[in-house]
Structure 1
Amino acid sequence: MTCLVLACLASTGFSAGAGECPTAFDTTVEARGLDGHGDIALADGRTLRLAALADIGTAPDPARRAALETLVAGRTLTLATADATPDRYGRLAALARLPDGRLVQEAALASGIAVARPEAGYLGCMPGLLAAERPARAARLGVWAQLPLKAEPPAALAQAAGHFSVVTGRVRTVGSTRKVDYLNFGPVWRQDTTVKVDSSVRSALAARGLAPAGLAGREITLRGTVDLVDGPVIDLRWAEQVDEVGEASGP
């Protein structure tokens, strides 16, 4: 049996969304369209990055870009942000509400334009974002026509190197040190896919019944940025990166 982590938490009464989700939609802006990087160009000269959202792919997808531009271009957006300080690229990160009351994030997720991405300041938004994402995922719309990617063989993740993605596979073994747990998806950790679980995440996973030591032999689906260090590596910084966990199985 596969457990949708958020659904299982709801049934046990555990609050799935760690932290807060911004609710003060108190800034109004005008969206011109998208810039060359796929962010939203605003009429006042600023750039808006849609918080808790990730595009998927190693190259821009014209169809997804056009769909997002159609959604926002020329619209008045109302913003709620966890931090009004621009990032190092000068972008403002925020939740954006359309004139009809929908979140741009939720509308984009529902059509498969992008996937939800856990992000500091927005972790409490993840249950709602994942719920918005779920129908597109079930229907394999947009990005979900290719996702999730298989953790093994490791070459299957080569296309995702340097990019945020959703990955699924069976954890073969778990290695632990004081600071890091390693979920190994293949027999040779130096070339196979590995998920590094920071010690700060252990307690949050354990509270969900997902202590790293107990994940050996279980199918797991998670999301994160894929790096190549020997083999593919994903850093697990937040429990919200885990989507699904199956029952344990034999070797």
Structure 2
Amino acid sequence: MTGPALRYRDALTVSAALFLAPASIAGQADAADCALERHGEGRVAAVVDARGFRLEDGREIRLAGIERPGTDTANGRAALSAIITGRDVTLHGENDTPDRYGRQSAIVFVAGSEQPVQSELLRRGEALVSSDIADKNCAAALSAAEGVARNAKLGIWAETTAIKNAESPGDILAAIGHFMVVEGRVLSVRQAGAITYLNFGRNWTRDFAATISRRIIPAFESAGLGPKSLENRLIRVRGVVSSRGGPRIEVLRVGQIEVLGGK
């Protein structure tokens, strides 16, 4: 085995060792921040995909707070398998209500570990923060874990295409239906009906835009991110890509937008 395959195998070995080692201060912070209400436990029988697994009692669990970008999930599934297959886990979250597919969403801790599985995957660069965690402390901890991998260019961050350029709408359109991170400068902010558009290009029917519903504008204003304040700012947007003329990401939570620089 040589080349990328060998490097990936070595990365899995090192990461697994780190995961099972005594927790660092950062790991302890993750535990404190993401140890939400406990909603069950069990032993992992099988990994379903890059962010889902099945317990021996038949329950299917989805890892809350993260996403796997793009269509290549093989590496993500292997990374998750290395951590949890055959292990006892505890499930934490805001509630244990299953989704429409019968899957329980949870922050997951392997027995004996001081940090959630999500943080370990993020630190390896095997996942992206999805911003679907309402608890601010936990969301911040997951974002910090992602930042570790991004700064070190680990996993998916080793690829130059990990973050899409807002000025290349064709590249973004290729990811329709998938979770992506896009960076660019907001050229204009326009409102049409109940929707506010953050436009990253001058051709509104072709270029990339992020959309924000009027009903959640107050949340952005409370966070100091009123849409008009984002004009001419360099920002990072994350979410599922759709197409309505040009590529779009619907912003449903404040955490999907990160301001990267000044005007």
Alignment coverage as a number of residue pairs: 228
- Structure 2 counterpart SS, 1:235: strand
Q: Residues 222 and 241 of structure 1 are in contact (CA less than 8 Å); yes or no, is this contact kept in structure 2?
A: yes
Normalising by structure 1, report the TM-score: 0.84
Q: Percent identity?
A: 34
Which position in structure 2 is the counterpart of 1:173? 188
Q: Residues 21 and 123 of structure 1 are in contact (CA less than 8 Å); yes or no, is this contact kept in structure 2?
A: no
Q: Residues 195 and 234 of structure 1 are in contact (CA less than 8 Å); yes or no, is this contact kept in structure 2?
A: yes
- Structure 2 counterpart SS, 1:74: coil
Cα RMSD for the two superposed structures: 2.0
- Structure 2 counterpart SS, 1:35: strand
Give runs of aligned pairs for residues 222-241 of structure 1, distance below 5 A: 222-241=237-256
Q: Which has the higher contact order (CA 8 A, sep 6+)?
A: 1
> Letter of the aligned partner of 1:190 in structure 2?
T
- Structure 1 counterpart SS, 2:180: strand
- Structure 2 counterpart SS, 1:228: strand
Paired with 1:36 and 1:180, the residues of 2 have a C-alpha distance of: 34
Tell me the alpha carbon deviations over residues 82-121 of structure 1, each in whole angstroms, 9 at most, x when there is no partner: 2322211111111111122220111111111111112265
Paired with 2:259 and 2:46, the residues of 1 have a C-alpha distance of: 35
Matched, 1:35 2:35: no
> Letter of the aligned partner of 1:89 in structure 2?
Y
What's the offset of the Cα at 1:180? 1.9
Match of 1:148 among 151, 160, 163: 163
Larger mean CA deviation between 45-54 and 79-88 belongs to 79-88
Match of 2:97 among 78, 85, 88: 85
Which position in structure 1 is the counterpart of 2:58? 45
> Letter of the aligned partner of 2:44 in structure 1?
A
Structure 1 residues 48 and 26: alpha-carbon distance in aligned structure 2, compared to 1, 3 A threshold: closer
Q: Residues 233 and 259 of structure 2 are in contact (CA less than 8 Å); yes or no, is this contact kept in structure 1?
A: no
Give runs of aligned pairs for residues 92-111 of structure 1, distance below 5 A: 92-99=104-111, 100-111=113-124
Structure 1 residues 177 and 52: alpha-carbon distance in aligned structure 2, compared to 1, 3 A threshold: same
What's the offset of the Cα at 1:56? 0.9
Paired with 2:36 and 2:195, the residues of 1 have a C-alpha distance of: 34
Normalising by structure 2, report the TM-score: 0.80
Match of 2:225 among 210, 222, 236: 210
> Letter of the aligned partner of 2:130 in structure 1?
R
What's the offset of the Cα at 1:174? 0.8
Give runs of aligned pairs for residues 58-137 of structure 1, distance below 5 A: 58-60=71-73, 62-99=74-111, 100-119=113-132, 121-122=134-135, 125-137=138-150
What's the offset of the Cα at 1:215? 1.6
Q: Residues 26 and 80 of structure 1 are in contact (CA less than 8 Å); yes or no, is this contact kept in structure 2?
A: yes
> Letter of the aligned partner of 2:256 in structure 1?
Q
- Structure 1 counterpart SS, 2:95: coil
Which position in structure 2 is the counterpart of 1:11? none
> Which structure shows the higher helix fraction?
2
Tell me the alpha carbon deviations over residues 45-73 of structure 1, each in whole angstroms, 9 at most, x when there is no partner: 1111001111111232x222111100110
Structure 1 residues 22 and 199: alpha-carbon distance in aligned structure 2, compared to 1, 3 A threshold: farther
Q: Residues 36 and 94 of structure 2 are in contact (CA less than 8 Å); yes or no, is this contact kept in structure 1?
A: no
Paired with 2:39 and 2:207, the residues of 1 have a C-alpha distance of: 47
